[in-house]
């Protein structure tokens, strides 16, 4: 596997930031009667900014790690799709 797909490209960074802005993290609460209810969904970018303001460095580094996981995932997906498209274009030209 080539590692060139992890190079910072505009499409990779923008896609990772867009995914990082989705409300991915949720908080659930257990009610006194024993049922679980959804309280709120959080956007990771909002949590990162909030943790920076509170100087909670452990949580900041966790969110940065989460962002890196999202970046690597989107880079692999974009790289795979671009390689597939290139192979299909080569087959269609023949």
What is the tens place of the pLDDT at every residue in 46-70?
899 999 999 999 999 999 999 999 9
* 5/43: higher pLDDT: 43
Domain ranges of the chain: 3-93
User: What b/e string do you get for 43-64 counting C-beta neighbours within 10 Å, with b at 16 or more?
Assistant: ebeebbeebeeeeeeeebeebe
Rounded-to-integer distance, Cα 63 and Cα 92, Å: 43
Identify which of 9-18, 19-28, 37-46, 52-61 has the greatest average pLDDT.
52-61
């Amino acid at each position: 596997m080539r590692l060139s797909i992890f190079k910072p490209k505009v499409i990779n960074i923008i896609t990772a930031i867009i995914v990082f802005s989705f409300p991915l993290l949720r908080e659930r609460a257990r009610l006194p009667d024993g049922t679980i209810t959804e309280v709120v969904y959080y956007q990771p970018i909002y949590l990162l900014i909030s943790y920076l303001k509170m100087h909670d460095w452990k949580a900041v580094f966790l969110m940065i790690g989460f962002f890196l996981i999202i970046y690597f995932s989107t880079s692999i997906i974009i790289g795979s799709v671009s390689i597939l498209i290139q192979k299909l274009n080569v087959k269609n030209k023949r």
